[in-house]
Amino acid sequence: MLTRKVIRILLNVCGTIKIFPKNYSGNIAFEVKDKDNYLHYCFLTKRKYIGDISDEVNIIGMSTRGKKIRVIFLENITKGQVLYMSRSTNKKLIEFIEMYRQLDDQGNLLNIQESPEDNTEKGQIQNFCGECGSKLTTEMKFCSYCGDKI
């Protein structure tokens, strides 16, 4: 017996809500226009208020077969509201979304929340690169990740 695995791709769309098209399935549907003027058709499986037309939003969702985006996370930047749309509160999903929100367009961290003072264990001092924030050993003269001189 063959089993078929469907791999869904997570997408991150930042843009402006443009229209709320008619949707007969009972879901809330809307279109988001990104910075490249491309319209993304998005939908929610829950009926929740997400904002108004011309609100700036940040969306993380799964792509479907019809090039639609099923929203699992929505951040309304204009109203300062954050909504998790997953059917269950999956702790790993929330951790992934929080990590994904800290990446820029090239996949680099926007801000590093760990500080060397928080990560000391039993008198062990850990060094961190001032440029990229990766962990260093005391013997290192250059960062192995970004190449910056220590």
Instruction: Write down the pLDDT at residue 33.
Output: 93
10-101 CATH: 2.40.50.1010
CA–CA separation, 136 and 125 (whole Å): 10
What CA–CA distance (Å, rounded) separates 109 from 100? 9
Residue-wise pLDDT for 16-53, tens only, equals 999 888 777 778 889 999 989 999 999 888 778 888 98
Q: What is the pLDDT of residues 58-93, one digit of tens each?
A: 888 888 877 888 888 888 999 988 888 766 556 666
Q: Where are the beta strands (DSSP E) in 45-124?
A: 56-63, 69-76, 81-84
The predicted structure's pLDDT at residue 56: 93
Amino acid identity for residue 55 in this structure: D
Note the pTM of the prediction, 2 decimals. Answer: 0.56
The full set of domain ranges for the chain reads 10-101, 112-150
